Chains A and B, each alone.
Chain A
Amino acid sequence: MLRLYEIAIHPMKNVRQGTHNMGKFTGKTVTLAHGAGGKAMHDLIEQIFVATFDSPELSQMEDQARFSLADLNLLGDRLALTTDSYVVDPLFFPGGDIGKLAVTGTINDLAVGGATPLYLTCGMILEEGFSFDDLLIIVQSMKATADEAGVRIVTGDTKVVPRGAADKLFINTAGVGVIPETSHILANRAEVGDVVIINGYIGDHGAAIVDARGELALEMSTVTDCQPLNGLITDMLKVCPDIHCMRDATRGGLATVLNEFAQGSDIAIQLDQTQIPVREEVKGVCEILGLDPLYLANEGKLVAIVAKENADALLTAMQAHPAGKDSHIIGVVEKSPKGKVILATGFGGNRIIDMLIGEQLPRIC
């Protein structure tokens, strides 16, 4: 049984606010003392988390963040709640870091359900010896991403575990949002004749992580697509309130999400490979490693299925938003074979795109 050294951002009792004295952490590392309940712990909470996240709910000084139901009611008729844990290795990668990922990932999980994301929690598990410089960068990155997306980090918890009991830093974020009355996005609503739209290039995040692990010394410049999608989705729902299906294509990639739709709606999805946006450098990584971009992770890509008559207006609205400028119609919903995703290979043949079994492993030759 591990001995856990617990501290919490809430309760905030006895914590002085806003000293902004982060300099004292420069060049230092997290020790078990930062979880032991004394001054070190208080300084960490006060000067890193509270000072950076800087949200009014934090100053309520209670064990929980509190919200007005009446205010939430103005935004819709259902509450959406989601949680996700982030354990990415390495913590920093081209175009992002674990903090940015932890905020966008949870925001996107709310937004693709049609919800307006409002509040996030932040749970951190720190390994003894973790660098405060890195922690500061990550916490600031979380704050910047949350601000960009218009959400607030309102409560949190931090644990310090002995060296070796965790890998540097794990983050869990939960998110709350409100779904408007008009929105009914479900994986079982795809209908024959609908079209499938994606908001840009696939596989960028997966390729960036491969690059950042440095095992291959690739001369390439793929940057993660990690971005909050709630702004784009707001614009989408304005022109097309009745989006049938929508999910973000994270782990398992585009292929996995489309299989979920095909099985959920008991229909077939016919894709056109020539219409699926894949960057040249991502294709290159996949060629070298024997990977398939359809299964590579994304962190800022959504797939939507909508009625054909709404597709053009939706596509135009998406392309007008920075997070959707490379949006493309990539396929159509057909009757059979039910539950299957079929790719016209762009070479004259077809192949079935199944769910990934286990992890994508590089091929020997």
Chain B
Amino acid sequence: MKFVDEFRDTKKAQTLKKAIHKLAARLAPTQTRPLQLMEFCGGHTHTIFRYGIEQMLPDSIEMVHGPGCPVCVLPMGRVDDCVALAERPEVIFTTFGDAMRVPGSHKSLLQAKADGADIRMTYSPMDALGLARKNPDREVIFFGLGFETTMPSTALTVLQAEREGITNFSLFCNHITTVPTIKAVLDSPDMQIDGFLAPGHVAMVIGERPFDFIAEDYEKPLVITGFEPLDILHSLWMLLQQLDENRHDVENQYTRIVPENGNTPALEAISKVFEIRDFFEWRGLGSIDHSGVKMKQAYAAYDAEQKFSVPNLKIADPKSCQCGEVVKGVIKPWDCKIFGKECNPETPMGALMVSSEGACAAYYNNGYTLKTGTTG
């Protein structure tokens, strides 16, 4: 497939693999522990597992799979709110597919659908708006979810609804922000990450500059990274290059998509519709200041949280879950007490087992056996 296969080329991969091993060998004598490099984004985690990239790396490099899977980090209380909204008889509740399985305290959206709620999977918020047009006697709620990557499309949909005077459409806003979350990871006392692969599609919207503080204040190297397997290897090589040269800069590997200053119309739409929340609750990480957005008062008519009352209860994560420590690289998924036992992809307890992009689910499905060699 054109413009895809080029970024999955085996020969180029082998060249990069050699270069990575060479640099890693040069760095190894200076290390007392394996280098910990974090890919923040769930999309990167997916690529790493799908192409078996971890097995291509030397033992002196450990990938830490960060908190950037918006489905995984959705707290149970918010899922309960979704279910409460979806179960209102007048509501058609629309959502991205992989949010269907996230467990709430009583049930997931998938279970709520089986129990009779009108819940439909959509591929775009514009599809939800289309449903609102077609069903003027119903209230269509879109479950807005994701980092800055998906924020512009939801913002533009709200603006479109306003332009068309559609009154039976609203947004249940659960969008989250990247920078405060990376900062929370960096500020945690047990953190030992040596460098970051930064999310390419978030950067496509917000540009390179919001990541500067990581290089300047925390003195960690960072490479904005694309989502094909060669992108990942190339970026890992760039990170090692920085470490080898004792640099900590913000570099952009994904120049074919990411402009330095981001996407101005997208940013305008976001700032027109959304404003920063004081704090947002994350599954596995707890409450993080300024890590989410809500709808501005001017768009209250399109805000499902204001239009309907949602329970908005805070439900604590199960005590046995160690997702927070896994996300920060303090322990490996299989070191968690309940990994693969009470917590598995069929009955996920913790955030990271929920979506195929969560580190625990990814190890459970793809990599655990190969990485640790426990079976066979």
Write the residues of chain A forming the contact surface with B, with a CB cutoff of 8 angstroms: 215-216, 268, 280, 283-284, 287, 289-290, 335-340, 342, 345-352, 354, 357-358, 361-365
Task: Check if A352 sits within 8 Å of B366, measured CB to CB.
Answer: yes
Instruction: Indicate if the CB atoms of B375 and A351 lie closer than 8 Å.
Output: no
B96 contacts chain A at the CB level, 8 A cutoff: yes
Q: Determine if A364 and B70 form an interchain contact, defined as CB atoms under 8 angstroms apart.
A: yes
Bound CA span A313–B345, Å:
42
Given known contacts A268-B376, A350-B52, A283 and B366 CB-to-CB distance under 8 angstroms: no
Contact of A337 among B1, B4, B369 (CB under 8 A): B369
- Of all A-B residue pairs in the complex, the 5 with the closest CB atoms, nearest first, are A349-B52, A337-B376, A336-B376, A361-B97, A362-B97
Q: Is B203's beta carbon under 8 Å from chain A?
A: no
A245 to B: closest C-beta gap in Å = 20
| A363 pairs with B356, CB closer than 8 A | yes
* B40 nearest CB across to chain A (Å): 13
Could you list some 30 contacts between A and B, CB below 8 A? A283-B4, A284-B1, A290-B98, A338-B375, A339-B375, A340-B375, A345-B50, A345-B51, A345-B52, A346-B8, A347-B10, A347-B53, A348-B10, A349-B56, A351-B49, A351-B367, A352-B365, A358-B101, A361-B97, A361-B101, A362-B98, A362-B121, A363-B357, A364-B96, A364-B97, A364-B145, A364-B146, A365-B42, A365-B43, A365-B150
Nearest B residue to A346, CB-CB: B10
- Per DSSP, chain A at the interface is loop
Q: Which of A268, A287, A338, A345 has the most CB of B within 10 A?
A: A345
Contact A364 B150 (CB under 8 A): yes
The residues of B that contact A361 with a CB separation of less than 8 Å are: 97-98, 100-101, 121
Which residues of B pack against A, CB within 8 Å?
Answer: 1, 4, 8, 10, 13-14, 17, 42-43, 46, 49-56, 70-71, 96-101, 110, 121, 123, 127, 145-147, 149-150, 201, 229, 345-346, 355-357, 365-370, 375-376
Q: Which residue of B lies closest to A278 (CB)?
A: B1
Contact assessment for B375 and A337 in the assembled complex, using a CB-CB cutoff below 8 Å: yes
Closest-by-CB residue of A relative to B9 is: A347
- From B8, B146, B356, B369, A365 is in contact (CB under 8 Å) with B146
Checking B42, B51, B369 against A347 with a beta-carbon cut-off of 8 angstroms, the contacting residue is: B51
Q: Which residue of A lies closest to B54 (CB)?
A: A349
Q: Which residue of A lies closest to B14 (CB)?
A: A348
| Smallest CB separation, B154 vs chain A (Å) | 12
A350 touches B123 (CB 8 A): no
Q: Is A362 a contact of B123 with CB atoms below 8 Å?
A: yes
| B42 CB contacts on chain A under 8 angstroms | 365
